[in-house]
Structures are given as structure tokens and as C-alpha cells.
């Protein structure tokens, strides 16, 4: 039995590539489709969450939006991993820096993701789960940044449920070496880990790979910031890296 389309994705199985590059903003997805894909075909516009499939350097790739926050990316990546047989998801997005040696425009390759979310409660674990990236993807992302000459740092991010945090303790996360704050990577990594253990009538069990690459859009210590338009259209370095690593470069 085919479980597609899903409640949130209007595509049939086969219309989405096994590798998907995702962004929170659907307009950033449209930008990637128009500037990185050859012959992009729209496969989703349910709730305005655009998704396209095309080719990049001869490799079939999809790009799709995931919305804002952990619950939203949790829904979309669960359906992609479990119902569309997607094997690899790379998130490209913005983050707020909390380390002094990070600057607006720098890239952060998230090898791990702390979180204040309760997302992991569904797994009924007896301790605290540590969501981590796929090492192979992370290593290739670092190599791509070095080859392209892009300023970058590698390490932990905080996936926060709060954009407007009434009781933020950024200094405490800073002391623990966390590089930046964003809102979705931990949930992406948890979905990849869980989907890798599952076999169902909809999806074969296999290793699911995930990586988050963020551009520093603002600095929570120094006050450096970018505009919404700049975040939408000029954060292309993380896109360059994402397409390079998913196309085997």
C-alpha cells in the first residue's frame, strides 16, 4: 500500500529524489530551484511549502521547505524519510551566533544539536539523547568549505523552541561551547536516527543521513544583523556547500 501523497506533501512516490536539501523559507527553496537545479519540476505546494525536483551536475536532487520550528521540520522530514524513501536530508538555514569569533555570513556545520525541545520524549528513553549529524556528510561539508575558501566553524548548535525567549540564558550555552542558536536541526537528526531503525510497508530500513548547515544571520552578543531579504536571497555559500556534498564533490 502506497501512503503517498501524505497529509502535508502532495507528491507521489518517485517524484521526490532520494536526496533533499531543505530550508525553512519556501522562497529560499524557490531560489535554489531557479539557481541550482536544471529543469526543476514542482512536486509540492500544499500549505505553500514549495518542493521541486531537478538535476544538479547530472544528479537528481530535490529541494523543499520545512517551515519554522521543530514540530514543522519534524512533520516534513518524518514523511520524507518514512514514506518517500528519502535517504539524505541537508538543512540550510540561518542561525544566531553566540561565540565572539563567529561573524555574520560565516557558516556553521552542526555536528551536534542541543535542544530545549521535548521532541525526544516520544522515544521514551531513560536518559538524554544526543542528536548528531552524519559524519560523512559533515566531513565533506568541511572539505567543501576549505576548498571554496568559505569561513566556517564546526560543532554544537542549540535548536531552541523559542525565537522570543522570555528567559534566555545564551551565556550558559556559550560557556558550554555552543556556536549558534537555530530552531530545527535537533529534530531533523532525531528523525534520521529513528527512521534508520524502522522497516514498514512504506519504507525499507536503511541508514538515513542528515546534516545541518547554517549561515550566521545575526550575532546575539555583538548585535550584527542582516535583513530578511538578505537572508532569503544572498545566503548562497551554504547552498554551494550543500549541493557540492550531495553531488559527490
DSSP state of 66: -
Told to judge if 218 belongs to the known catalytic residues of this protein, a careful annotator would answer yes
What's the rounded Cα separation, in Å, for the pair 110 and 156? 6
Burial of 148 (0-12, 13-18, 19+ CB in 10 A): middle
- What the block records as the C-alpha cell of 43 is 512536486
Q: Which of 25, 85, 218, 240 is catalytic?
A: 218
| Bridge partners for 51 per DSSP | 44, 64
- What the block records as the C-alpha cell of 159 is 535548536
What's the rounded Cα separation, in Å, for the pair 201 and 236? 38
User: What residues are annotated to the active site?
Assistant: 218
Amino acid at each position: 500500500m502506497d501512503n503517498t501523497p501524505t497529509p502535508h506533501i502532495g507528491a507521489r512516490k518517485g517524484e521526490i529524489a532520494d536526496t533533499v536539501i531543505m530550508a525553512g523559507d519556501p522562497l529560499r527553496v524557490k531560489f535554489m530551484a531557479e539557481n541550482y537545479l536544471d529543469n526543476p519540476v514542482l512536486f509540492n505546494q500544499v500549505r505553500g511549502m514549495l518542493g521541486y525536483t531537478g538535476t544538479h551536475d547530472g544528479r537528481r536532487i530535490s529541494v523543499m521547505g520545512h517551515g519554522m520550528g521543530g514540530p514543522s521540520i519534524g512533520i516534513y522530514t518524518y514523511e520524507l524519510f518514512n514514506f518517500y524513501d528519502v535517504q539524505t536530508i541537508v538543512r540550510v538555514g540561518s542561525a544566531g551566533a553566540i561565540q565572539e569569533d563567529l561573524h555574520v555570513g560565516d557558516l556553521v556545520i552542526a555536528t551536534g544539536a542541543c535542544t530545549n525541545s521535548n521532541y525526544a520524549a516520544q522515544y521514551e528513553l531513560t536518559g538524554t539523547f544526543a542528536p548528531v549529524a552524519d559524519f560523512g556528510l559533515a566531513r565533506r561539508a568541511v572539505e567543501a568549505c576549505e576548498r571554496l575558501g568559505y569561513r566556517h566553524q564546526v560543532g554544537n548548535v542549540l535548536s531552541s523552541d523559542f525565537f522570543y525567549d522570555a528567559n534566555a540564558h545564551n551565556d550558559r550555552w556559550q560557556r558550554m561551547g555552543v556556536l549558534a542558536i537555530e530552531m530545527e536541526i535537533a529534530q531533523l537528526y532525531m528523525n534520521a536516527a529513528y527512521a534508520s531503525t524502522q522497516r514498514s510497508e512504506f519504507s525499507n530500513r536503511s541508514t538515513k543521513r542528515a546534516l545541518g548547515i547554517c549561515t550566521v544571520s545575526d550575532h546575539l552578543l555583538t548585535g550584527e544583523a542582516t535583513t530578511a531579504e538578505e537572508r532569503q536571497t544572498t545566503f548562497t555559500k551554504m547552498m554551494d556547500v550543500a549541493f557540492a556534498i550531495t553531488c559527490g564533490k
